[in-house]
């Protein structure tokens, strides 16, 4: 995983509440066996018409989305399925953070494992961000857990220590878990007899 | 005296492998279910790191999402789906994981076969790269969906880094009236708490109405916990659970059964245990439910008028409902009863078990489905299919004019060609009515199998109680 560094970006507002993972990437694209090539499928059914042409009124097709790295989404972003294809598609499009008033649990965990930072802000800050002009930029400092608004005001956001450590240092969780193998073996030895194996 | 605990806390504590301040807890996983869609990238990750599967004996695979529900002797026509299905076979062979593939005698929807084979048992932690893993909570297990990175973690280590969830008591007391089912309980809950109401929580379903449900009905309830935002939902084991499990293929036998039973009986929530959140539902007042919108929380009693966005004070909520009604092509204030439908789908990990097929068959027997409606009935597993055949259900379905198919996820997720066409209305026993979920541009009403069968006959959305 690449270390997560500070950055500045315009916002791509998509303020609908409860955007589900079927909108982020429709299920028909999940037949792939690869993680790659999903950027074109991001928000596919909102982004393209039935002939596959970009819909000009959809935010991702507008100039302000080009090069932008922060999605400003409505409440409960990423609800629905556990597909990790959702954060894969978002990061491949170029997003590095999603700001919302809340995130669905599985999506949030999947995002953190893919260097996509879920930032929770209060409804008041969310409204303030939505009201910004299209070319306004925010900057994100993960180490300080601070979101800097164009006015110069900074807003703190929560990130648990472990996730922050992994993101900032590019540490992948599996590497950490593999270091715990003695504890895992001890746990298995302690519970032998109460684990019902498929062979049994 | 020790502090009284909920079953959720007991399950968590008994699976803690390692705890370290400032880090999430390392939690042991007793059963890992694998399917073709969310696993290929995880197996590829293992190869890149040269890792093995730590406990293939605690891992079980099947294929369900991408496969056609047509004649299984024919090859899969979609080359991308065929490759994915084949890749699962290759991965399982290479890593020594037992699999019920497309031709397996025990193949089925992963959340149908887990309990059916006795793989899922009380007291277990169960995961799968699928958000409907909550289904297995019906057996008294802590069961939740995970992403592909976590699938890789469990394959490699049999463990996951997790943070504890809040406990949420969902109490349902009373008696369901005729025509009202387990599906209506969960749709009623979702209509009250919304799709984010359970975020960060695990539901424990309790109360007399839950106790009187069969295991299959309990699975329907637990299945849709994720639609309320809860990663897991469970029901403490009782005699119904033990009777269901006893004798199943992977359930413990003999002395091991007795030992397991003694362990399981300690699982239920202690008297006096506290929950972080609570909600209470009166089963006596429930009625058949239907969704009108584009998430499972947008549900109402079947005879209610479609909500009017202008009556909603919260501007974002008003906007959501307004957008949903626009997508659905519905008018506020009208009734859905009598609304024409194009397709009826009876199936999915929510409602494709033998009791679901029986309840549909009871209504369809001696009747014909409307010639205007395509009716698809998709059993949840080969075992469900075999049992249905033994009971003569396929004949009832075919005589009524239904299309009775091979087991799989089918039109619930519309990955395999079973789908709504743009603009079509589908009445579905599945779990999600998101935009395009059942086919691009398709419009879904979620209901119980009884309501689906009644609608199939009438050709329009129907209150099943008028046909009982």
Q: Is B165 helix (H, G, I), strand (E, B) or coil?
A: coil
| Cα–Cα dist A38/A31, whole Å | 12
Q: Which two tokens stand for residue A116?
A: 């996509």
Residue B234 pLDDT > 50: yes
Percent of chain A topping pLDDT 90:
94
- Whether A179 and chain B come into contact, CB under 8 Å, resolves to no
Total number of residues shown for chain A: 200
Closest in A26, A194, A197 to B263, CB measured: A194
Phi, psi of B274 (to 5 degrees): -105, 150
Q: Is B403 helix (H, G, I), strand (E, B) or coil?
A: strand
Closest in A16, A32, A181 to B80, CB measured: A32
Closest in A20, A177, A184 to B434, CB measured: A20
| Cα–Cα dist B445/B427, whole Å | 5
Interface of A with B in 131-170 (CB under 8 A): 160-162
Tell me the average pLDDT across B5-18: 97
| Cα–Cα dist B428/B449, whole Å | 8
Query: How far off is chain A from B393, nearest CA to CA, in Å?
Result: 31
Percent of chain B topping pLDDT 90:
98
Per-residue pLDDT, B340: 98
Phi, psi of B354 (to 5 degrees): -60, -35
| Cα–Cα dist B277/A134, whole Å | 40
Mutate to test the interface with B, among A14, A35, A84, A123 (most CBs of B within 10 A): A84
* Residue in chain B lying closest to A181 (CA): B157
Q: What is the pLDDT of residues B265-284, one digit of tens each?
A: 999 999 999 999 999 999 99
Query: Could you tell me which residues come within 8 angstroms of residue A80 by beta carbon, excluding any fewer than 6 positions away?
Result: A20, A21, A22, A104, B131, B226, B432, B434
* Chain A with chain B: Cβ pairs closer than 8 A: 197
Residue A193 pLDDT > 80: no
Query: Could you tell me which residues come within 8 angstroms of residue B237 by beta carbon, excluding any fewer than 6 positions away?
Result: B122, B123, B139, B140, B264, B265, B267, B268
Phi, psi of B302 (to 5 degrees): -60, -25
Nearest of A121, A112, A58, A62 to residue A90 by alpha carbon? A112
Confidence of residue A2 (pLDDT cuts 50, 70, 90): confident
| Cα–Cα dist B455/B288, whole Å | 13
Note whether B196 and A104 are within 8 A (CB).
yes
Q: Which two tokens stand for residue B167?
A: 């406990």
| Mean pLDDT, all residues of chain B | 97
Q: What is the pLDDT of residues B379-437, one digit of tens each?
A: 999 999 999 999 999 999 999 999 999 999 999 999 999 999 999 999 999 999 999 99
Strand B159-162 vs strand B25-28: parallel, antiparallel, or unpaired? antiparallel
Closest in B41, B87, B153 to A173, CB measured: B153
Nearest of B174, B173, B146 to residue B160 by alpha carbon? B146
Interface of B with A in 150-169 (CB under 8 A): 150, 152-153, 156-161, 163
Note whether A105 contacts B229, CB cutoff 8 Å: yes
Closest in A178, A184, A193 to B17, CB measured: A184
* Residue in chain A lying closest to B165 (CA): A105
Note whether B229 contacts A184, CB cutoff 8 Å: no
Note whether A184 contacts B131, CB cutoff 8 Å: no
Query: Could you tell me which residues come within 8 angstroms of residue A18 by beta carbon, excluding any fewer than 6 positions away?
Result: A74, A75, A76, A79, B195, B196, B295, B297, B320
Query: How far off is chain A from B267, nearest CA to CA, in Å?
Result: 14
- Whether A17 and chain B come into contact, CB under 8 Å, resolves to yes
Note whether A84 contacts B196, CB cutoff 8 Å: no
Q: What is the pLDDT of residues A11-60, one digit of tens each?
A: 999 999 999 999 999 999 999 999 999 999 999 999 999 999 999 999 99
Per-residue pLDDT, B316: 84
Interface of B with A in 69-108 (CB under 8 A): 78, 80-81, 83-84, 87, 98
Q: Is A139 helix (H, G, I), strand (E, B) or coil?
A: strand
Closest in A18, A33, A173 to B295, CB measured: A18
Provide the strand spans (E) within B174-237: 201-206, 232-234
CA B442 to chain centre: 21
Per-residue pLDDT, A200: 43
């Amino acid at each position: 995983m690449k270390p997560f560094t500070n950055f500045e970006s315009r916002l791509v507002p998509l303020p609908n509440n409860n955007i589900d993972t079927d909108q982020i990437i429709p299920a028909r694209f999940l037949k792939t066996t690869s993680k790659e090539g999903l950027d074109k499928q991001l928000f596919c059914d909102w982004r393209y018409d039935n002939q596959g042409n970009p819909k000009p009124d959809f935010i991702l097709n507008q100039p302000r989305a080009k090069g932008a790295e922060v999605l400003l989404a409505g409440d409960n972003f990423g609800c629905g399925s556990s597909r990790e294809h959702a954060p894969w598609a978002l990061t491949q499009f170029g997003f590095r953070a999603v700001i919302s008033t809340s995130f669905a649990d599985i999506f949030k965990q999947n995002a953190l494992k893919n260097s996509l930072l879920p930032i929770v802000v209060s409804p008041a800050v969310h409204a303030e961000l939505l009201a910004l002009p299209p070319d306004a930029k925010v900057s994100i400092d993960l180490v300080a857990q601070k979101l800097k608004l164009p006015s110069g005001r900074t807003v703190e956001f929560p990130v648990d220590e472990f996730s922050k450590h992994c993101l900032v240092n590019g540490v992948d969780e599996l590497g950490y878990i593999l270091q715990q193998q003695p504890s895992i073996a001890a746990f298995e030895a302690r519970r032998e007899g109460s684990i019902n194996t498929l062979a049994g | 005296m020790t502090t009284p605990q909920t079953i959720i806390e007991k399950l968590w504590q008994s699976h803690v492998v390692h705890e370290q301040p400032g880090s999430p807890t390392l939690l042991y996983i007793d059963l890992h279910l694998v399917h073709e869609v969310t696993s290929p990238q995880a197996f590829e990750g293992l190869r890149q790191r040269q890792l093995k599967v730590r406990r293939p004996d605690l891992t079980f695979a099947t294929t369900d999402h991408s496969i056609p529900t047509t004649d299984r002797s024919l090859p899969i026509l979609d080359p991308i789906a065929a490759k994915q299905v084949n890749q699962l076979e290759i991965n399982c062979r290479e890593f020594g994981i037992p699999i019920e593939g497309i031709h397996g005698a025990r193949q089925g929807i992963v959340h149908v076969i887990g309990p059916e084979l006795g793989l899922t048992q009380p007291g277990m932690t169960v995961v799968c790269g699928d958000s409907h893993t909550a289904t297995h909570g019906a057996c008294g297990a802590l069961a939740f969906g995970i992403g592909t990175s976590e699938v890789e973690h469990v394959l490699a280590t049999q463990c996951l880094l997790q943070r504890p969830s809040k406990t949420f008591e969902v109490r349902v007391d009373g008696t369901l009236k005729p025509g009202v089912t387990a599906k209506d309980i969960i749709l009623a809950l979702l209509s009250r708490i919304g799709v984010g109401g359970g975020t960060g929580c695990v539901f424990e379903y309790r109360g007399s109405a839950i106790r009187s449900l069969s295991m299959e009905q309990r699975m329907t309830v637990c299945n849709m916990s994720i639609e309320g935002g809860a990663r897991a939902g469970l029901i403490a084991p009782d005699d119904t659970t033990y009777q269901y499990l006893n004798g199943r293929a992977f359930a413990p036998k003999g002395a091991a059964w007795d030992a397991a039973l003694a362990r399981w009986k300690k699982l239920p929530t202690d008297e006096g245990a506290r929950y972080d959140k609570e909600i209470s539902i009166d089963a006596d007042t429930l009625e058949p439910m239907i969704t009108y919108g584009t998430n499972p929380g947008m549900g109402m009693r079947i005879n209610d008028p479609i909500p009017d966005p202008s009556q909603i004070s919260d501007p974002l909520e008003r906007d959501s409902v307004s957008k949903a009604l626009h997508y659905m092509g519905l008018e506020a204030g009208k009734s859905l009863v009598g609304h024409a439908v194009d397709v009826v789908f009876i199936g999915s990990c929510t409602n494709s078990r033998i009791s679901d097929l029986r309840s549909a068959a009871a209504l369809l027997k001696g009747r014909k489905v409307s010639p205007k409606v395509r009716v698809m009935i998709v059993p949840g597993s080969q075992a469900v299919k075999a049992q249905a055949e033994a009971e003569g259900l396929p004949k009832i379905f075919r005589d009524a004019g239904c299309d009775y198919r091979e087991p799989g996820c089918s039109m619930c997720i519309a990955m395999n060609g079973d789908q709504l066409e743009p603009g079509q209305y589908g009445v579905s026993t599945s779990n999600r009515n998101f935009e395009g979920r059942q086919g691009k541009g398709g419009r879904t009403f979620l209901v119980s199998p009884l309501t689906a069968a009644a609608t199939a006959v009438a050709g329009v959305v129907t209150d099943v109680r008028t046909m009982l």
